[in-house]
Amino acid sequence: MTDLGPLNYFLGISVTSTSSGMFLSQRTYAADIRERADMTGCQPSRTPVDTGSKLSATGPPVANPTLYRSLAGALQYLTFMRPDISYAVQQICLFMHDPREQHYSALKRILRYIQGTLDHGLQLYVSSTTSLTAYSDADWAGCPSTR
């Protein structure tokens, strides 16, 4: 094996090391997703999901389901460094087998949110603590079609 030096970029993840830790970002990968969707010049959205409405399996089908599936899969990989979009991406991935126009609109909203938050990522701090703390917020009964 060869030592390639300090980690800078690996599998679409950019790593910036400092004395306080590491910052992990997928800025370039996110920009590539927006380019594939032809949304590089779109207006940013303040939130990744519309909290007032729930997605359902009704409506006209998407004109290009292959593009929808490709973009949804790419967004799934983006959630590794962007937990802020995890819920929204999970919602659009529920309908990958039969995407509808409302699902594609939700996907485009996520891409508009990413447009305004390209610099987001994960900051990992140096710590001597060996315990792990996790938080979860689940709304199992909120969706009428999957509860």
Instruction: Answer whether residue 88 is part of any domain.
Output: yes
For residues 145 and 140, what is the distance between their CA atoms, to the nearest angstrom? 11
pLDDT of residue 128: 86
6: closest CA among 29, 28, 22? 22
Instruction: Answer whether residue 4 is part of any domain.
Output: no
pLDDT of residue 132: 85
Beta bridge partners of 22: 17, 124
Which residues constitute the domain of residue 88?
9-125
Instruction: Answer whether residue 134 is part of any domain.
Output: no
pLDDT of residue 14: 93
Total domains in the chain come to: 1
Instruction: Answer whether residue 57 is part of any domain.
Output: yes
Instruction: Answer whether residue 139 is part of any domain.
Output: no
* Sole residue written with tokens 């996790």: 134
Give the CA radius of gyration of the chain. Answer: 18
Instruction: Answer whether residue 146 is part of any domain.
Output: no
Could you state, in chain order, the average pLDDT of each consecutive group of 10 residues for the chain (147 residues)? 83 91 94 94 91 86 96 95 93 94 96 94 89 76 66
* Sole residue written with tokens 């997703």: 33
> How many CA atoms are closer than 13 Å to the CA of 126, on its beta-carbon side?
5
Instruction: Answer whether residue 135 is part of any domain.
Output: no
Instruction: Answer whether residue 137 is part of any domain.
Output: no
